[in-house]
């Protein structure tokens, strides 16, 4: 990966459970974003958190950012089968470059 | 709403051939990005353009070149193709305003297969 690691690499849960994915990065950032990708499809933006923010919510999504540890987490609550996808964190470095992490494959079983 | 349009969606080439991928950003977006995603890999940043000028460069091979035209569409040219160039190539666009969202809007990708 150009940026860092995601943890776990794969996650399998039952519908209704919560899913937590973690991401670490290496450089100073302007903001950190989470994207979702269904197999072989384009990436869809989920949520953005700025470097001066610590937590952000959007619907069933909750993102935290710890710039001292260079890490972020994405929590999806009350998961649904339709949440099955790959999830990537990406850091916007100062300039104009969005760098992706390695991704977590989430499978939600109904 | 209009999205990012990429063409062609699928492309099959032989080794050492040349390929050109096209990207039409969302209207009024001023920034275009190109990414390469191999099977099971994360998207790798290749290059970006802001207002038709190259703004950032990533792991783009010297065999590849890209440009953004006056109508803001962009083309990625790939020459002397190698088997390892087989991948999904994504284009994304955004509207860069300092201090506001850095959200990127991605196209559905162009799948290149090199035989």
Per-domain residue ranges for chain A?
5-109
| Token digits of residue A43 | 């990436």
Q: What is the dihedral of CA A10, A46, B68, A96, to 10 degrees?
A: -90
For residue A1, the distance in angstroms to the closest alpha carbon of chain B comes to 7
Please name the fold of domain A5-109. Answer: Immunoglobulin-like (2.60.40)
Q: Which residues of A touch B (CB under 8 A)?
A: 1-2, 30-31, 33, 35, 40-45, 48, 88, 92, 95-103
Q: What is the pLDDT of residues B3-12, one digit of tens each?
A: 999 999 999 9
- d(C-alpha A102, C-alpha B69), whole Å: 32
In chain A, which residues have their Cβ closer than 8 Å to the Cβ of B53? none
Mean pLDDT value across residues A41-45: 93
Contact state of B101 with A100 under an 8 Å Cβ cutoff: no
pLDDT band at A30 (very low <50, low <70, confident <90, very high): confident
B103 vs A45, A88, A100: nearest CB: A45
- d(C-alpha B5, C-alpha A62), whole Å: 30
């Amino acid at each position: 990966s150009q940026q860092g690691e995601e943890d776990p690499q794969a996650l399998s849960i039952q519908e209704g459970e919560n899913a937590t994915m973690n991401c670490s990065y290496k450089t100073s950032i302007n903001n950190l974003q989470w994207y979702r990708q269904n197999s072989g499809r384009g990436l869809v933006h989920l949520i953005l958190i700025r470097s001066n923010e610590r937590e952000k919510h959007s619907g069933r999504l909750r993102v935290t950012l710890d710039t001292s540890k260079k890490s972020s987490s994405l929590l999806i609550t009350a998961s649904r089968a339709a949440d099955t996808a790959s999830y990537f964190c990406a850091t916007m470095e100062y300039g104009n470059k969005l760098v992706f992490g390695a991704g977590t494959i989430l499978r939600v079983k109904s | 709403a209009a999205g990012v349009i990429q063409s062609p969606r699928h492309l099959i080439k032989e080794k050492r051939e040349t390929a050109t991928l096209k990207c039409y950003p969302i209207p009024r977006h001023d920034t275009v990005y190109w990414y390469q995603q191999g099977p099971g890999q994360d998207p790798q940043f290749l290059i970006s353009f802001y207002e038709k000028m190259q703004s950032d460069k990533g792991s783009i091979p010297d065999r590849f070149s890209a440009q953004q035209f006056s109508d803001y569409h962009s083309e990625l040219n790939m020459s002397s193709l190698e088997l390892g160039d087989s991948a999904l190539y994504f284009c994304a666009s955004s509207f860069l305003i300092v201090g506001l969202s850095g959200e990127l809007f991605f196209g559905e990708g162009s799948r290149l297969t090199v035989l």
